[in-house]
Amino acid sequence: MTADLRSHAPTIEVTGPVPPEVAVGADFVLKVNVSCSAGCELDGMALTVTAADGTVVASELGHETADIALTAPRRTGEACWNLVCGPHESAGILHDETAIPVRIDVIPHATSLAVWAVPSPVVMGENFAIKVGAKSSAGIALTGMAVEVCDEAGIVVARGCLGETPLPGTSALYWSEIPLRAPLGEGVQAWSVRFAAADLELPHEQASSTFSIAIVRPPEHRLTVKVMEKDTAIPIADAQLRLGAFRAATDQAGLAEVDLPGGVYDLSVWKVGYEAPARTVDLNADASVEVEVVALPEENPDTAWQM
């Protein structure tokens, strides 16, 4: 440095929010500002960013700012980038080299699980199947990845592999149908599905999801339910019936047939626009019942304006 060359110390800072966490392999941007306390113009000053693995990203300041595009490492844990600007000489002034570290936690990608098409109820000891889907937050293909189904005690009762293509209508929900066998005990149980997310190209979090199954005794009797409008005796189609864990819907003739084990059931009938009385059915043989529903009056939308 010559004797007549003045020296200034610039200040470097990251403006805007620094993401506290970034998923492995994800891209992000750092907005950097470099200034001189003496108000010197710093356009064209070199700016370099060095990662812990030695990767260097070079940039150049424009109006004292720069947007630095970075990529998180493909491993989890704390990652550090060293931001260095200068040295820079302009108009007889030397701006010394200045550096600051930027530390960010690198986290695994998230995974999510979905369970659907769970039949209800399931007869004890009989075979049934559920559908299971898994999705990577990074959109990575999960073809062939393993999923496990565990019973209420956490014991693995089935394993399956996700299919080759995503579920139609989704971009990355890979799925499979998994066959199962119902336990021999009656009642409602909470089972779970697990996805270990091992051996993926990028680290992912494990995921799990629970679902309930209602296990019942084998059917012994058939209950026929007829739903009709009380004043007109018109059959009511698509009325939803519930008898404990059992579900059914009426057809165009207002009829529904349900096979049930013997016992006492609370019969509930529901359809929008109608009111149905609750009733109890004591089933010890094939039987038929009729349910009369009452049409509810339509609300008048102008009521609030009639004063």
Domain ranges of the chain: 6-107, 111-216, 221-295
Tell which CATH architecture fits domain 6-107.
Sandwich (2.60)
CATH number of 221-295: 2.60.40.1120
- For residue 302, CA distances in Å to 70, 95, 295, 298 come to 60, 76, 21, 12
| Tokens matching residue 296 | 């509810």
Q: Quick check: do 111-216 and 221-295 share a fold?
A: yes
CATH number of 111-216: 2.60.40.10
Closest CA to 254 of 274, 279, 233: 233
- In our burial notation (b when 16+ CB lie closer than 10 A, e otherwise), range 25-56 reads bbeeebebbbebeeebebeebebebbbeeeee
**Could you tell me the pTM of the whole model?**
0.75
Write down the mean pLDDT value for the chain: 89
Mean pLDDT by 10 residues, the chain (307 residues): 65 85 91 82 78 75 73 91 82 82 94 94 96 95 95 95 94 95 94 92 93 95 97 96 94 97 96 93 96 84 49
95: how many CB neighbours lie within 10 A of its CB? 22
CA–CA separation, 70 vs 102, rounded Å? 12
Write the pLDDT tens digit of every residue in 156-203: 999 999 999 999 999 899 999 999 999 999 999 999 999 998 888 899
Nearest 10 degrees: CA dihedral of 11, 15, 21, 22?
Answer: -100
